[in-house]
Chains A and B, each alone.
Chain A
């Protein structure tokens, strides 16, 4: 493995480059197909509204996958990622049927240094002004 960030160059509180993602309906359709999860709230506005959601929502699985990219892109080697977790998908990423889509803003900050060159990155992600994940973290092995 070849992480390009060195363990001894980072400390608790170090911020990693933030990123903004755009999520459109077609992105959710692609993800439905790629992971065989065709739950109707991810593509059908009628069903989403019938169950009390404001509109179609992104898969939690998709949201955390996007968030983790700020970590894998930062270290340069996606195989250096040891673990990622979210304690609660606290608010859905609502994806309107328009040309702009939803915005997902992701930030990360080193929360803890572990043994074996590993660090814990605390992730936060917001969409529409609300945090969409609480207790999201990634563990990554640095060089």
Chain B
């Protein structure tokens, strides 16, 4: 095993605050090619019943790398630059849309690590709350580390 399976059950301390802005939502939406007016135009969003624009559903996923990608770059975790990892599975659950002015913090827990033939994979849950403790979204990511399992494992 190249990865440190002792990370199962470990939780990273809550991240610093990510302050959501209209401009970042706009940039993110345009980067995905999704120009739904609810992301870009506060008046259109109000017609749908929101106080301001809302973020696309996948916006929450972006926070993983913005917050440093733990445990990817934790030296103790054992992930090396190569081989590269690939995304295997994902689930994103929203309690409400992310909105401008939200001050978000993310807490990440490694739920599971396993050997799959020559590969390893781990699953982590990112809990995204406002700094005041309101739960907004949960993202679960499973990442496959290609070819890092020792021969004969799994």
Contacts and interface: CB of A to CB of B under 8 A. Distances in A.
Interface of A: 1-2, 21, 27, 30-31, 33-37, 39-41, 47, 51, 59-62, 64-66, 68-69, 72-73, 76-79, 81-89, 92
B105 to A, nearest CB: 17
A69 B83 contact: no
B88 interface: yes
B11 interface: no
B65 A34 contact: no
A60 B90 contact: yes
Contact of A2 (B47, B87, B88, B90): B47
Interface residues of B, number: 38
A35 B27 CA distance: 10
Contact of A69 (B34, B50, B82): B34
Interface stretch (B55-63, B106-114, B128-136): B55-63
Given A1-B49, A68-B58, A83 B38 contact: no
Contact of A72 (B36, B89, B92): B36
B88 A88 contact: yes
Nearest to A27: B33
B87 A34 contact: no
B91 A83 contact: yes
B39 interface: yes
Interface string B40-72: 000000011110001011100110011000000
Contacts of A82: 93-94
B97 interface: yes
Contacts of B62: 34-36
B38 A79 contact: yes
Nearest to A73: B36
Contacts of A84: 57, 91-92
A41 B32 contact: no
Interface string B1-42: 000000000000000000000000001101111101011000
B88 A78 contact: no
Contacts of B36: 69, 72-73, 78
Nearest to A69: B34
A112 B18 CA distance: 36
Contacts of A34: 27-28, 31-32, 62
14 contacts: A35-B28, A36-B62, A65-B61, A69-B36, A78-B56, A78-B57, A78-B97, A81-B94, A83-B94, A85-B89, A85-B90, A86-B90, A89-B87, A92-B86
B89 A86 contact: yes
